[in-house]
Amino acid sequence: MPSEPSKDLIALDDPYPERDYEVRCTTPELTCVCPVTGQPDFATVEIAYIPDRQIVELKSLKLYLWSYRDEPVHHEAVTNRILDDLVASIAPKQATVETRWLVRGGITTVVTARHRAQAALD
């Protein structure tokens, strides 16, 4: 597997599809570029999900998050895009992506996006 940024999230078979359990991945290394100022933005991202039939391969997740490094994107957009891409890749029963952005102009921003599969709602 390459060690360069990639938008490809690799799905693996869930080793315990008969059980609901939570997977939580956290890193303080999410970076992107402010589309207004061109300055770098830094965040801690926490991804939590309950798998259905697949889980995300962790190195692909690391390379995926790295792919935002030079991308001009708003905090709200990157948070929701991470959730959308995770859901498209592994179709979890539930997922939450939370980004906690370092202070910019005296304001700390926290963005939380949630997904719940229709079957989990029934």
**CA 35 remoteness from chain centre:** 19
- Whether residue 41 lies in the annotated active site: yes
Catalytic residue among 8, 13, 25, 41: 41
For residue 6 the two structure tokens come to 């990639």
- Whether residue 14 lies in the annotated active site: no
For residue 67 the two structure tokens come to 């792919």
Catalytic residue among 25, 34, 52, 85: 34
Q: Which backbone phi and psi does 6 adopt, to 5 degrees?
A: -155, 140
Burial track 39-57 (b if 16+ CB lie within 10 A, e otherwise): eebebebbbbbbbbebbbb
Strands 54-56 and 11-13: antiparallel
Question: What amino acid positions are annotated as catalytic residues?
Answer: 34, 41
